[in-house]
Structure 1
Amino acid sequence: MTFAFTFPGQGSQAVGMGRSLHDAYPAARAVFEAVDEALGEALSRLIFEGPEETLRLTANAQPALMAVSLAAMKALEAEGVTIDRASLVAGHSLGEYSALAAAGALSVDSAARLLRLRGEAMQAAVPAGEGAMAALLGLDLETAEDVAAEASEATGGETCDVANDNAPGQCVVSGTAAAVARAVEIAKEKGARRPMLLPVSAPFHSALMAPAAEAMAEALASVAMTAPAVPLLANVSVTLLTDPAAIKESLVAQVTGRVRWRESVAAFAGHGITHTVEIGAGKVLTGLAKRIDPGLKGVTVNTAEDVAAFAHSFAQQGA
């Protein structure tokens, strides 16, 4: 079994996530306590009890998802499955911070504070209602790029970028509200199965996020980072990174850059990966991996029961 640990991004959050990890593993509980202390508030209470609409806010969802992922990783470590048994780590957008914290490149308190800042900066970059995102289901990347370019041209040069290339036929565009609305109409004309606006609060991973990228560049410059225990497969470049300076540059670039998840998972085979292990809330990345490379085997680890099951399988196979 040669595997990659993958870490989910925004949209995977749910009230109650991570509770069984907190209750079953002291090491996982310590993660939630450290995040609460770093942020100066009881984020763990919000994670476990809600309300959902408050958890869903970008500035809360980002550190919350990292906390759950890192709690799951610490629980695995308590069962003898250490991060260095993976060949690489990869995270979807904010999941890169989770991956880096799990791989020891960032402390949990640094990751929590960075993600709180990232969420606030991304929300503040564009006034509410002026930006939007839309999923263009059924279109390949090249067609989605054409749609974005046509939408921008039709609105007098307003921003419309392909923000996410998640899986075959699953691209997301992001930009001004007018340009994205036009992209939805153009996508219908080009045969998109279900082009739809997404319920998000800002146009993530578009050029409109430039102010947030500047804020993250300043914040990351002052944060201590060491080389991760295993390489990070970066979202924006689909290359393996271990140098802290290069990782920081990549984290800044991904605020405005495209999440190249389809390409990232497709690259796993070239690195000898046979299994993906999704660490944290939900099962989104496991589902995407099956669509991208049906030959990959995938498991999710987001509850105490999942931790025990994976640790048992790991030991049985002598991985």
Structure 2
Amino acid sequence: MAFAFTFPGQGSQSIGMGKDLAEAFPNARHIFEEVDDALRQKLSHLMWEGPIEDLSLTTNTQPALMASSIAAMTVLAKDFGIDVAEAKYAAGHSLGEYSALCAAGVINLRDTAKLLRIRGDAMQNAVPVGKGAMAALLGASVEDAEAAAAAGAKHGICQIANDNATGQIVLSGETDAVQAACDAATEMGVKKAMMLNVSAPFHCDIMSPAADAMRGALADVTFNTPSVPIINNVQAMPVTDPEQLKNDLIAQVTGRVRWRESIEWMAANGIETFAEPGTGKVLTAMLKRIVKDIKGVALNSPESLEAFAKEIKG
């Protein structure tokens, strides 16, 4: 069975994430402890006890989701004998790309945790509260979304931030521009255009200060060749060159998350099953809107990891 690992991004967090893995597997517990130590923060306590308002702060959400994903991957490898290299590809949605790179041995765990803390802080601080916004266009084609974004751009920065799935596209930019884009989309007959409750306008040019911060943060971090090709957000096709992977993480901060294209590319190149390690099942649910009759499985509990390992081993 040809499969790929896909790592979740913001929006998948929940109180208790990863706790059952930590309680059942010392190898998972060690991952959470190492992340806590790298960040000099009891992030695991926040993940398991809350409050959700603090966990949902970008500075905490990003390393927390990565820790949960890497804990699941570590259990899969050390407790069930399924290594990341047995997958054909790995990919991650936005911050999930860091999880994919860590799982594939490109960046070590401590560096990944520190980079995501810097990324979360930089993205949150790139724009004053209220200056930026994001909106979801439901039932819109990419062409519809581009036309709406162009209408919004007459009022300020407005771009496609996430091409998540067929009929599910997210715009990002200055508040007035994004609102104008929503109005234009409604006039075009798009099924639904709704402003989102987010802390900052991610993946658009307003995030340029955060991209600069990541350029500096990444400069001295060692990147290794991945043990499995990475389908990254910028290229939406396999990348194995460490320097390109690093440069694309910088471009990703202001660039479009090409998730639909990434999934379509992998499905067209032999992937039969997409496995989502970590918490929640946002990416697994999204699959049904991208490729028909494709299998997705969320690896977010001891039972799901064991079942997946048994299936892979046959």
The TM-score normalised by the length of structure 1 is 0.97
Offset of residue 309 of structure 1:
1.3
The reply to whether residue 74 of structure 1 matches residue 74 of structure 2 is yes
Instruction: Give per-residue Cα distances to partners, 1:161-216, cap 9 Å, x unaligned.
Output: 00000001100000001111111111111112221111111110001101100110
Work out the CA distance in 1 between the residues paired with 2:47 and 2:29: 13
Offset of residue 74 of structure 1:
0.5
Counterpart of 2:282?
Answer: 284
Q: Which consecutive residues of structure 2, in runs of 5 or more, have no partner in the other structure?
A: none
CA contact (8 A) 2:237 2:265 kept: no
Work out the CA distance in 1 between the residues paired with 2:286 and 2:276: 11
Q: Which consecutive residues of structure 1, in runs of 5 or more, have no partner in the other structure?
A: none
- The partner residue of 1:204 within 202, 213, 229 is 202
Work out the CA distance in 2 between the residues paired with 1:274 and 1:238: 18
Counterpart of 1:10?
Answer: 10
Counterpart of 2:223?
Answer: 225
Which one-letter code corresponds to 2:94 in the other structure? S
CA contact (8 A) 1:138 1:191 kept: no
Instruction: Give per-residue Cα distances to partners, 1:76-131, cap 9 Å, x unaligned.
Output: 11211110100010000000000011111111110100000000000111111100
1:11-26 aligned within 5 A: 11-26=11-26
Which one-letter code corresponds to 2:267 in the other structure? A
Aligned-residue CA RMSD (Å): 0.8
Work out the CA distance in 1 between the residues paired with 2:210 and 2:55: 21
- The partner residue of 1:236 within 231, 234, 237 is 234
1:114-263 aligned within 5 A: 114-153=115-154, 155=155, 158-263=156-261
- The partner residue of 2:267 within 266, 269, 277 is 269
Q: Between Structure 1 and Structure 2, how many residues are aligned?
A: 313
SS at match of 1:267: helix
Work out the CA distance in 2 between the residues paired with 1:40 and 1:298: 35
The reply to whether residue 102 of structure 1 matches residue 107 of structure 2 is no
Which one-letter code corresponds to 2:177 in the other structure? A
Work out the CA distance in 1 between the residues paired with 2:202 and 2:137: 15
SS at match of 1:10: coil
Work out the CA distance in 1 between the residues paired with 2:46 and 2:190: 37
User: Which contiguous aligned blocks of 4+ residues in structure 1 show a shift greater than 4 angstroms?
Assistant: none
Instruction: Give per-residue Cα distances to partners, 1:122-177, cap 9 Å, x unaligned.
Output: 01111111000000111111110000001111x2xx10000000001100000001
Work out the CA distance in 1 between the residues paired with 2:223 and 2:197: 34
Offset of residue 281 of structure 1:
1.1
SS at match of 2:54: helix
Identity %: 54
Instruction: Give per-residue Cα distances to partners, 1:266-311, cap 9 Å, x unaligned.
Output: 0012321111001111111111112111132111101111111111
The reply to whether residue 311 of structure 1 matches residue 312 of structure 2 is no
SS at match of 2:288: helix
Work out the CA distance in 1 between the residues paired with 2:228 and 2:47: 29
Which one-letter code corresponds to 1:215 in the other structure? A
Single out whichever of 306-315 and 144-153 deviates more from structure 2.
306-315
Work out the CA distance in 2 between the residues paired with 1:93 and 1:18: 20
Offset of residue 225 of structure 1:
1.4
SS at match of 1:41: coil
CA contact (8 A) 1:12 1:282 kept: yes
Which one-letter code corresponds to 1:287 in the other structure? A
Instruction: Give per-residue Cα distances to partners, 1:19-76, cap 9 Å, x unaligned.
Output: 1111111111111001000000100000001000000000100000000000000011
Work out the CA distance in 2 between the residues paired with 1:18 and 1:269: 29
Work out the CA distance in 1 between the residues paired with 2:285 and 2:265: 17
Single out whichever of 159-168 and 292-301 deviates more from structure 2.
292-301
Work out the CA distance in 1 between the residues paired with 2:146 and 2:30: 44
